[in-house]
Structure 1
Amino acid sequence: MMYGLTIGQAATFAGVTVKTVRHYHRLGLVGEPERDGSGYRRYGSSEILRLVQVRTLAGAGVPLAEVGDLLDADPDRFASALDDVERRLTDRIEELIARRAVLHRLASGDRLLLPERACAVLDLLAELGFSADYVALQQEALILARALVPEVFDSFLDQLEHQLGDPQYVELVKRCQEAESWDPHDPRLDDLAAALCSMVLANPELLSMPAEFEARPDAAARYGLINHHREDQAPAAARLNELLEANLRAAGVDIPLQ
């Protein structure tokens, strides 16, 4: 029989810290031994055994709040409780594996925030010769669209996919990119806006908005955050967008007013 250990010695023998031993005492998982004549608590073999049992179960993933009942359970209930702990640990392991997968995907940057279909659209933009800056801007717009107007995100992708399949539209958008370096009062912007409007109106079914979006009291604000993203950095682009929206409104398209 082992007896007469100080709390420090008991902690060392059980493979824990003194702080942990005291924590187990506070939780009622390990009883505090009686003090000796000098006023010190002395730990014997029964306390060391209990400390090892608690440490082992806690280390296996059993919540401390359940350890006491588990140690005091009969063999059948003990086995059943361990099965339950194993199930919870398995769920936790799966969650951690999923988180690790997310960390690995972070190498793709913000594309983590987009579904595969949206990433395919971005890849297509690059393949069509759009600049890296333009692709990055569209990526930000897609992230905003998915977060702010999820109910129209799929239709937004439908529109992009359709437009990028039209070589004339692609060339027109590239010209709009070039126009970002123009003076915002350049009259050529009017012609560009008119041409864009004609192409957009050629497929009116792509312009329809779901009723749940139109019913939003903050629909205009959400639309503005997406459609006018970074316009402060490109005055000519902001002017072109303003002209396009004006043309679309004149054609009867309901464009939210900011």
Structure 2
Amino acid sequence: MAEGLTIGQAASFAGVTIKTVRHYHRLGLVAEPERDSSGYRRYRSGELYRLVQVRTLAAAGVPLAEIGDLLDSDPATFAATLDDVHRRLTERIEDLTARRDRLHRLDHGDRALLPDRACAVLDRLDAFGFSPGYVAAQREAMVLARALIPELFDNFLTQLEHLLDDPETVELTKRGWDARSWDPDDPRIEELASALADKLLTNRGLLALPTGFRDQSDAVSRYALVNHHREDQSPSIARLTALVEANLRAAGIAVPHQ
């Protein structure tokens, strides 16, 4: 009776394919057994043990090019190398988790382009009964702000968070969105602009621009693209925004102006 295992049996016990076993042989990771009297290579315990070691390390993420030296190293080097492999695997897991989370957001459109804090604000807007159109407009403005004026992005989010902490401001903001259907000359727009500006001025610190922002040649254009987003779709909103900005400037706030 022949001693040892055929290559097919060895591969099966080790949990790999015959093709993989032969690949390990070509790389010198596992010694190829001598042929027996019948001309077959028989894998004994030594070869099988090495095969299992190689397969385990490869499955754990150790590059095949490193496995041979690793198995032949002293215990301290072996342990240090495994620690490094563990670190690299942890980094890969974190990266893959982040990618998975971004993919999960894709079914929410532009939310894939926003950080968690911004998405939390959008969820609160929805929970406070703002219309889908307003939430969509704010989502677009967030994406633009993050890309065009990253220096102001955190303040932008903080302003929205303060808005939601004040029921009166929530109602004023909802009225501002409803003003889309008003005539641009409607006197209510001036009243609403004054009330909104007064609310913004209760947190003057959030209205301050970062040092040096206004000195940038394209600062005004970038700011305008965000703060005047969608105004071309509603003349009354354009007038409301212009009046709010005028009231803020009159109160000493350096609002960029084209």
TM-score (normalizing by structure 2): 0.65
The aligned amino acid for 1:63 is P
Q: State the partner residue of 2:220.
A: 220
Distance 1:50 1:158 in 2: 59
CA drift of 1:234 comes to 3.9
Distance 1:163 1:81 in 2: 53
Distance 1:44 1:201 in 2: 79
Matched, 1:156 2:164: no
Matched, 1:113 2:112: no
Distance 1:221 1:19 in 2: 62
Q: State the partner residue of 2:230.
A: 230
Q: Deviations over 1:217-242 (max 9, x none)?
A: 44334323422333454454244334
Q: State the partner residue of 1:241.
A: 241
CA drift of 1:209 comes to 0.2
Q: State the partner residue of 1:123.
A: 124
CA drift of 1:91 comes to 3.3
Distance 1:8 1:208 in 2: 73
Correspondence list, 1:22-37, <5 A: 22-32=22-32
Specify whether residues 158 and 88 from structure 1 end up closer, same or farther in structure 2 by C-alpha distance, changes over 3 A only: closer
Aligned partners of 2:33 and 2:41 also within 8 Å: yes
Specify whether residues 119 and 201 from structure 1 end up closer, same or farther in structure 2 by C-alpha distance, changes over 3 A only: closer
Q: State the partner residue of 1:65.
A: 65
CA drift of 1:210 comes to 0.6
Aligned partners of 1:122 and 1:139 also within 8 Å: no
| SS in structure 1 at match of 2:67 | helix
Q: Deviations over 1:143-174 (max 9, x none)?
A: 54345434323433454455556666544433
CA drift of 1:70 comes to 2.0
Aligned partners of 1:29 and 1:54 also within 8 Å: yes
Q: State the partner residue of 2:19.
A: 19
Specify whether residues 65 and 167 from structure 1 end up closer, same or farther in structure 2 by C-alpha distance, changes over 3 A only: same
Task: Answer with 191-200 or 92-101: which moved more.
Answer: 92-101
| SS in structure 1 at match of 2:29 | coil
The aligned amino acid for 2:124 is D
Distance 1:168 1:84 in 2: 56
CA drift of 1:176 comes to 1.9
Gaps of 5+ in 1: none
Question: RMSD between aligned alpha carbons?
Answer: 4.8
Q: Deviations over 1:90-146 (max 9, x none)?
A: 835973896599589859953972328x8368637844x533432443344345434
Specify whether residues 70 and 249 from structure 1 end up closer, same or farther in structure 2 by C-alpha distance, changes over 3 A only: same
Matched, 1:195 2:197: no
| SS in structure 2 at match of 1:56 | helix
Task: Answer with 87-96 or 233-242: which moved more.
Answer: 87-96
Specify whether residues 114 and 215 from structure 1 end up closer, same or farther in structure 2 by C-alpha distance, changes over 3 A only: farther
Specify whether residues 99 and 125 from structure 1 end up closer, same or farther in structure 2 by C-alpha distance, changes over 3 A only: closer
How many aligned positions are there? 252
Specify whether residues 48 and 189 from structure 1 end up closer, same or farther in structure 2 by C-alpha distance, changes over 3 A only: same
Q: State the partner residue of 1:209.
A: 209
The aligned amino acid for 1:180 is R
Aligned partners of 1:190 and 1:240 also within 8 Å: yes
The aligned amino acid for 1:80 is A
Distance 2:78 2:173 in 1: 67
Q: Percent of counterpart pairs with the same letter? A: 52
Matched, 1:141 2:172: no
Matched, 1:80 2:82: no
Distance 1:3 1:217 in 2: 79
Specify whether residues 121 and 192 from structure 1 end up closer, same or farther in structure 2 by C-alpha distance, changes over 3 A only: farther
Aligned partners of 2:33 and 2:42 also within 8 Å: yes
| SS in structure 2 at match of 1:209 | coil
Aligned partners of 1:31 and 1:47 also within 8 Å: yes
Q: Deviations over 1:189-209 (max 9, x none)?
A: 762575257526855544320
Distance 2:185 2:40 in 1: 89
| SS in structure 2 at match of 1:91 | helix
Distance 1:99 1:166 in 2: 34
